Amino acid sequence: MKQLIGFDLDEGFMVVAVKITPITEDPLRIDRDHFFLRSDKDGQKATPYSPSQLAGTGAMRISSRGVDGGSVASENRGPVWGGIGGGGIGRMPGQSNQMGNSATIEEATATFEKGKEGEGKSPLLLALEQKVLVDSKETKEPLEGLLYLLMEGKHKVKQLELHYRGPGGKLDIRFLEPK
């Protein structure tokens, strides 16, 4: 990663260098959304991030707060059983209309904050933008760039496969373990 973009990204991010060469006379429309990475380890699927999603000036804050749940009670309508002499009368377990009660519920909210006007781009954002695979471009010429993907957990290279699904057809590329 350091060789490709000059910076290290957080754990879980992967960088894939892609070179596309159209083989027909017609222009080929290239879009990052035509690519995804899949892991054989756990079936996880990752789609490419744009540079601004990784190193933009905005932020998303996620907060949670507890909300007390109400409780609902109802009468047990199970069958009645009892002993001789009238002692120990009660209801047997069985069908009832009890709905139970609920505990505290966590409620999550997300707020988005835009970057401040006049803030310059970070060196990481500039590097990511310079090297990213150009999005939504029609070309007849070879095109190359980087895809930035996030996979949770640890994955070996041999467990990963890059997929392309776009106007150029379908392509599946299996990665080999580096020697």
Classified as helix, coil or strand, 80 is strand
pTM of the entire predicted model: 0.63
> Do 7 and 92 belong together in one domain?
no
24/94 same-domain check: no
* pLDDT tens-digit map of 53-99: 888 665 555 555 655 555 455 555 556 555 555 555 555 555 555 45
Domain count, the chain: 2
Q: Where are the alpha helices (DSSP H) in 24-90?
A: 51-55
Determine contact, residues 18/145, Cβ cutoff 8 Å.
yes
Encode pLDDT of 136-157 as tens digits. 788 889 999 999 998 888 888 8
Same domain assignment for residues 122 and 105 = no
Dist CA 177 CA 159 (whole Å): 9
Q: Which domain holds residue 87?
A: 59-113
What span, in angstroms and rounded, lies between the C-alpha atoms of 19 and 146? 9
pLDDT tens for 28-44 read 898 999 999 999 999 99
